[in-house]
Structure 1
């Protein structure tokens, strides 16, 4: 009886160790040197930070710089709310595990496992676009996202990024938007002969009417741009034609990006459905509540409206273009951010399009083994999807 109990616990320990291995390696937090003297600081005035794991073997001159996500703050009140959290202060940040696109295990990240891998923390609330010199002494809020991006890149260049042979700028959610907005800027920092590409994940936020017929997100982005003084740091190829708040939307920027780019996104992006298409203000009776938590709970009418959203998303993402240097993996999953989770990045049951996982599609495209540009059929057509099911505590909002 005792030996059976010991065997049971040993098996459990093995399972835990395997799970920890799959979760990835713990990478310490690094504060950016001399950032404060440059005014490149988080919302609370603390120095920005990143996590860096060295490349090895053949990947020693290759780099992935991955930008953390976390929404935006659009006014003083919402920025004050973030100020004392990890999304506004490096004082609240801790060491992180690297997995999926940042994993150092070949079986979990076959094409990029031995690269130099960096995760840049997000603490400015503007997708690294803000730059307001004046600091209100009452709030002590610093709107310096663009300076943070420059300071982090300067430090990484000195660590070896300036000699990169291959490099990827990537990011999730607000970090995916950062990737799009800063894609060409990142390319211009590196050697002209380097192979540099961008992989935004869940960052293709679209300018659509919500279910009440209001452009809620356009007003929100306008307030972000105004609060942070972002206009001068948005791509000039866009601001020369459109108002600055529109240039916070990828659909007005993407066609002008010259750097190769691969868009990873769910067509039924759960964050966009919950916050752009059906924000709380557009659903005062909360009739969409159950549907937003779990897409399988949606009524036929709600699903029909979601198909309309998918059509608008497809139209918006089509401006990326069909050049072989541009790729996309647009699945029909109810999900948000699929390159940061091992389950959706690269496992035997990961989401697939054309019998291909996200990791393989991105790797094939980056190395020129094959192009990849696929937009999925309508929900619920893809049995490989891992659809998110939310509960009350993780139902996000802006």
Structure 2
């Protein structure tokens, strides 16, 4: 190598070193928040599936947001039979022993004003999910060989008890949110959250990708209804001490369960929503990927794989498949029609992206190329609604009209 080439190489290295602090910064700029175990949880009987202690991640607010609180339920599906729950108990979905002890806070959890303009300086909490039933159960399984704790309700109570003396008890503003199974959890706990806080606290709730539909699949079977019925039935137990049944159903809205012959239906947000009195925001894709893959076209309804290519890329769907997807969208809008018309304090952002969970990812929450409806990002819509700056009930045009969408999340990435 001649002198000229050496000088060029050194110049390149020097340039890279000089710009490193400003050019190579993505990892360093991530907000990593440590895990807090709830050590007093055992006194309440609040345990993850495997008996480990529940946990959360808290990043403190500052400045004008010091007295405000945002709680975010983690998502991650469900288990509706003993074998599935035993397997889950050996993973991060059922035990804090296997969870990452640090979580990246982004999107609605970011502390950067330019990335999260309305909630960046609030106290932000991520509630870790380890009960397999959207923080709703209160029972256990013990056959002498295997032991599982179905204590989602107790986990919720234990985390709230831990947070109240840390400032939650004097919150001025509060937002209870969640993604996927965590989004469903907001329907279960929204009004309870309001009742816990002072009367003068401005409390609202947000569900992100949690509006799961009670819809027939392409074979006309109610696959998701059966799944939820098995989930609720699995956690039912009769306790002699209390002389009462325990499980998920007693923790669902009693006005809702009293209105149906099958109280299990109240685990579906579309039936629970009308009984919630706290102001609510529904953030969902009309073509939610999880629901597309597990409610509308579950594997059991497509044994020959006719939908496989369509599931991986909406552009590969044929005309008949697009018609089915448009029908699913119509079902979602019908399920939300009363809320859209009658909820004065409600908000909506129903876009036409093939996505699942859009509030925790910076790309979809608030970025230059984030999804938009009427040129409004999700972060702007949620902020406008929470602060009552304007009525925010945004419904996108049908696929494929929206050019701002981030399509597609492969099924392997869907939680």
TM-score under structure 2 normalisation? 0.92
Q: Does 2:290 align with 1:271?
A: yes
Q: What is the distance in 1 between the residues matched to 2:259 and 2:320?
A: 37
1:33 to partner: Cα distance:
2.1
Partner of 2:402: 382
Gaps of 5+ in 1: none
**Secondary structure at the counterpart of residue 291 of structure 1:** helix
Q: 2:384 pairs with 357, 361, 364, which one? A: 364
Aligned partners of 1:26 and 1:97 also within 8 Å: yes
Structure whose alpha-carbon radius of gyration is higher: 2
Could you tell me whether the CA contact under 8 Å between 2:356 and 2:414 is conserved in 1?
A: no
* Aligned partner of residue 178 in structure 2, secondary structure: strand
Matched with 1:307 is 326
Among candidates 162, 168, 179, match of residue 175 of structure 2: 168
Q: Matches of 2:276 and 2:269 in 1, distance apart? A: 10
Q: Distance in 1 between matches of 2:158 and 2:179?
A: 20
Q: C-alpha deviations, 1:184-232, integer Å up to 9, x for none?
A: 0111110011000001100000000000010000000001111122111
2:47 counterpart of 1:41? yes
Separation in structure 1 between the aligned mates of residue 400 and residue 365 of structure 2, nearest angstrom: 20
8 Å CA contact 1:172, 1:201 repeated in 2:
yes
**Residue among 245, 254, 259 paired with 1:236:** 254
Contact 2:289 2:414 in 1 (8 A): no
Partner of residue 127 from structure 1, selected from 109, 134, 139: 134
Any conservation in 2 of the 1:263–1:328 contact (CA below 8 Å)?
yes
Q: Does 1:186 align with 2:203?
A: no
- Tell me how far apart the structure 1 counterparts of residues 413 and 346 of structure 2 sit (CA, whole Å): 33
Alpha-carbon distance in 2 for matches of 1:118, 1:137? 37
Q: CA deviation at 1:134?
A: 5.4
Cα distance, 1:7 vs structure 2? 2.1
Q: Work out the CA distance in 1 between the residues paired with 2:320 and 2:27.
A: 40
Larger mean Cα displacement after TM superposition, 262-271 or 381-390: 381-390
Select 2:61's aligned residue among 55, 70, 89.
55
Q: 1:133 Cα shift?
A: 4.8
What secondary structure, in the 3-state scheme, does the structure 2 residue paired with 1:182 have? helix
In the aligned structure 2, how far is the partner of 1:157 from the partner of 1:69? 23
Specify which of 341, 351, 354 is matched with residue 334 of structure 1. Answer: 354
Q: How big is each residue's C-alpha offset from its partner over 1:111-170, in whole Å with a ceiling of 9 and x where there is no partner? A: 000000000000000101111155333221111111111111111112110100000000
Query: Does structure 1 residue 145 correspond to structure 2 residue 152?
Result: yes
Q: CA deviation at 1:6?
A: 3.6
Cα deviation digits, residues 1-55 of structure 1 (max 9, x gap): 121244246556633304642xx31000010121122210000000100000000
1:343 maps to 363
Superposed displacement of residue 82, structure 1: 0.5
Q: Is the 8 A contact 1:225 1:244 kept in 2?
A: no
Distance 2:183 2:110 in 1: 18
Residue 355 to residue 46, structure 1, CA distance change in 2 (3 Å): same
Question: 1:101 — aligned with what?
Answer: 108
Following the alignment from structure 1 to structure 2, what is the Cα–Cα distance between the partners of residues 253 and 335?
Answer: 23
Q: CA deviation at 1:181?
A: 1.5
Residue 4 of structure 1: aligned partner: 12
Instruction: Find out whether 1:92 has 2:98 as its counterpart.
Output: yes
Q: Is the 8 A contact 2:138 2:248 kept in 1?
A: yes
Which residue pairs with 2:5 in the alignment?
none
Distance 1:239 1:277, change over 3 A: same
d(CA) in 1 for partners of 2:121, 2:176: 16
1:201 aligns with 2:216: no
Alpha carbons 2:356, 2:409 under 8 Å: kept: no
Structure 2 partner of 1:281: 300
What pairs up with 1:214-229 in 2 under 5 angstroms?
214-228=221-235, 229=247
| Contact 2:67/2:123 (<8 A) preserved | yes
SS for the counterpart of 1:142 is strand
Structure 2 CA distance for aligned equivalents of residues 15 and 55 of structure 1: 28
Deviation at 1:318, TM superposition (A): 2.1
The separation in 1 between residues aligned to 2:107 and 2:49, in whole angstroms, is: 29
Asked if the contact 2:36–2:55 (Cα under 8 Å) also holds between the matched residues in 1, the reply is yes
Q: Does 1:159 align with 2:177?
A: no
User: How many correspondences in the alignment?
Assistant: 393
Which has the larger displacement, 235-244 or 324-333? 235-244
Residue 255 and residue 273 in structure 1: after superposition, are their counterparts in 2 closer, same or farther (change >3 A)? same
Question: Equivalents in 1 of 2:361, 2:413: separation in Å?
Answer: 16
